[in-house]
Structure 1
């Protein structure tokens, strides 16, 4: 077998492979003989069909099968021989496949880029730090009470925190716009679920009151035709209800799986959960920042095959997230919707891999066990979850990959210029970036 390789770009290769005719003909003849032993042709006894008859009837198909197998085997032989690392499947173009002649084909494919990591010591990273105050715990307890509040209809004017039942319809330039109408809609004032100014405009209204709200949609609103638009909402309040918060007692505590009878014990459990959530949020945020900085510091040519594969994964995730299931074909979602995110993910993956390889990093066993413990603690049967992870190679490998990525982040942080910024608990939980896709299934006014 002869192999020659041409670099058509920094990551694309054209590899010409020539396979001796003898190898092709030997395989073809071998398969013809196998077929002759089982072929049934009128006028001949089974196993007694002449080889030339078998060749006339089955030769063309058998030859194509052999060439397909030869391409598959020799391609991987060739890339191994040439020490190439394909980043995706090849495009194959046969050049010469005449019987009795050497078989030649050209395989075009992308390879993983060669990466020379930039110095990370000049990179500036802002790291948020936070601690949970007693007031944060009190706010969380109050929020849990509000989530389980009973609502009692009142005759007074609506106040912040009340629930109003309303009818509304939105108009732009005097014309009703799609998705801007609802009847019998329950809305908690101060929840921030509607566009700015909508909920504030309902404060002070009573059951039966009607009012026109002159508002402006945010410039970054997801519906392009409404972004930054001046609109009028005609609203009517059907009823006003005030919340009745449940008592802080054992019955209330048990709703959250907490077996406590005293408020202090309940708060202690709530604080523990908040601390876990805070740690996860801060770790996720600094990881995101560091890895984005890594991409900014290193210019990497990303193989299209890897980006396309990541786009497909993001499509699948989007379908699952929005409940499309079997009713929606993921490939129907536009690729450009996910391309930027896919390219970023692939770039991060390539660069993280290079950091791991160049620094000979391996997953720290102690951190792996610690991570498994943290995962198990969130379940009611932690021992079963712990055993499941530690005895399941696939699940354990996923944990090891997460730990290894954390070790990459720690290494990069040790090299970078890090500035710690103290933030509140609420600020720490906020994401740096908005989600790539927003749920547009709600009414456009929300």
Structure 2
């Protein structure tokens, strides 16, 4: 077999493969012999049909089958002989085959990029450290009270923090637009549920008022057809209510599941929960910083086939979650980062020979299951199908990669407040 390689761009490769005619003929004759023992032709006993007659009747089909199978069996042998690792499915072009000549075909594909840096030697990573204080506990308890508020109708003008029930219809250049109309819609002023122009335009409104409000959509608005445009809304206010918060007392503690109904126990429980949240978020931030550093250290080119597949996956995910498809450039940026990081992590895992630790996978599942009413059912559900378990194995493998990376990095600790911690990005950008 003859193999030649041509480089197309950075990652593209074109292989030209030629399978010798005698190899094709040998395979054809072997298939012909097997078929002659199976075919039934009137006037001949089974297995006694002359080869010439079998070839005359079935030769065209046989040679096509042989050529197709030889392509399949020699393709990856040819790729392997050149030390190449295809990313995505190869695109095959086969020349028309003529009996007695060599079988020739061409295949094009992209290869995985070279990853040169698999450690974080010399990289400094800050780990945020939080000491949860009584102010954090009080702030959280205030949030809990707001979440359990009763809403009392008022006749006064609406202030920030009040909840309004409204009907509205919006128009751009005098025309209705998708998502610009709603009835019996409830909004707490200052919550950020609606755009700031709309919420500010409702401050001071009373029940039964009608308001005309102009709203400017941000240039980066998630629904791109509205980005940067101005809409005129007619709003009818049908109710204005104010929040009546429950008292911070034993009754509230009991409703929140505190066994002894003690305020001190409630505050202690809240503090413990905040500390767990802070520790988890701190780990997530360090993880994101470690992976971002690894990504920055390896500016790899991404195979187009993998990039296109990830863009489509992101779009499908957004649509299934009720989101409108965003800007194509934004999708490509997200996809490029995700694919590049995935390739780098795969190479790290391959290079280190890492495999999922079953005990660690089980422990991770048990940790996740603790948040469910039936933990054992949650665990069993994942073990029932390999594809479900593979998601957890992927999480465990990523945790292991980050642990190994951090061994080579320089870690420093930085005290931050709990509120500051919540503002730090935990995703790889």
Q: Which residue of 1 aligns with 2:159?
A: 159
Partner of 1:321: 321
Post-superposition Cα deviations, 1:289-339, rounded to whole Å, max 9, x if no partner, equal 332232223221222233234334334433433399xxxxxxx99976633
Question: Who is 2:418 aligned against?
Answer: 425
2:395 to 373, 397, 402: 402
Find the counterpart in structure 2 of residue 342 from structure 1. 335
Residues matched between the structures, number: 429
Q: How does 1:10-409 map to 2 (within 5 A)?
A: 10-39=10-39, 49-95=49-95, 97-117=97-117, 120-121=120-121, 123=123, 125-172=125-172, 178-224=178-224, 226-245=226-245, 261-322=261-322, 338-357=331-350, 371-382=364-375, 398-409=391-402
Does the C-alpha gap of structure 1 residues 68 and 161 become closer, same or farther in structure 2, counting only changes over 3 Å?
Answer: same
5+ residue gaps, structure 2: none
Structure 2: distance between partners of 1:230 and 1:335: 23
Aligned 8 A contact 1:221 1:227 in 2: yes
Take 2:236 and 2:386, find their aligned partners in 1: how far apart are those partners?
59
Match of 2:108, SS? strand
Decide whether the 8 Å contact of 2:167 with 2:183 is kept in 1.
yes
- Deviation of the 1:195 alpha carbon: 0.8
CA contact (8 A) 1:7 1:14 kept: yes
Deviations 1:25-66 (A, max 9, x none): 333334344444554567777666544343333322222122
Q: Give me the TM-score of the superposition, normalised by structure 1.
A: 0.78
Higher alpha-carbon deviation: 362-371 or 273-282 = 362-371
Structure 2 counterpart SS, 1:352: helix
Measured in 2, the distance between the counterparts of 1:334 and 1:127 equals: 34
Q: Deviations over 1:249-283 (max 9, x none)?
A: 88867877776644444444444444444333333
Task: Decide whether the 8 Å contact of 1:260 with 1:266 is kept in 2.
Answer: no
> Contact 1:149/1:246 (CA < 8 Å) preserved in 2?
yes
Q: Call closer, same or farther: CA 1:41–1:306 in 2, change over 3 Å.
A: same
Deviates more, 1:333-342 or 1:373-382: 333-342
1:164 deviation in Å?
1.1
Deviates more, 1:59-68 or 1:33-42: 33-42
SS in 1 for 2:221: coil
**Residue 373 of structure 1: CA displacement?**
4.5
Q: Distance in 2 between matches of 1:374 and 1:171?
A: 49
Q: Deviations over 1:97-135 (max 9, x none)?
A: 211222222222222222222884554545433343333
Identify if the C-alpha distance between structure 1 residues 248 and 54 changes in structure 2 by more than 3 Å, giving closer, same or farther. farther
Q: What CA distance in whole angstroms lies between the structure 2 residues aligned with 1:333 and 1:214?
A: 24
- In structure 2, relative to structure 1, the CA distance for the partners of 1:378 and 1:225 (3 Å cut) is closer
Measured after TM superposition, the shift of residue 193 of structure 1 is 0.5
- Post-superposition shift, 1:347? 1.1
Q: How far apart, CA to CA, are the structure 1 residues paired with 2:322 and 2:49?
A: 60
Tell me, in whole angstroms, the C-alpha distance in 1 between the residues paired with 2:18 and 2:159.
81
Deviations 1:410-444 (A, max 9, x none): 444454565654444344334638999xxxxxxxx
The one-character-per-residue Cα deviations of 1:347-378 (angstroms, maximum 9, x if unpaired) are: 11222234445566666788656544432432
For the residues of structure 2 that align with 1:62 and 1:266, how far apart are their CA atoms? 79
Indicate how the Cα distance of structure 1 residues 108 and 435 shifts in structure 2: closer, same or farther if over 3 A, else same. closer
The CA RMSD over aligned residues, in Å, is 4.1
- CA 1:431 to 1:95, structure 2 compared with 1: closer, same or farther past 3 Å? farther
Unaligned 5+ segments in structure 1 are 325-331, 437-446
Contact 1:164 1:238 in 2 (8 A): yes
Q: How much has 1:237 moved relative to structure 2?
A: 1.5
CA contact (8 A) 1:282 1:429 kept: no
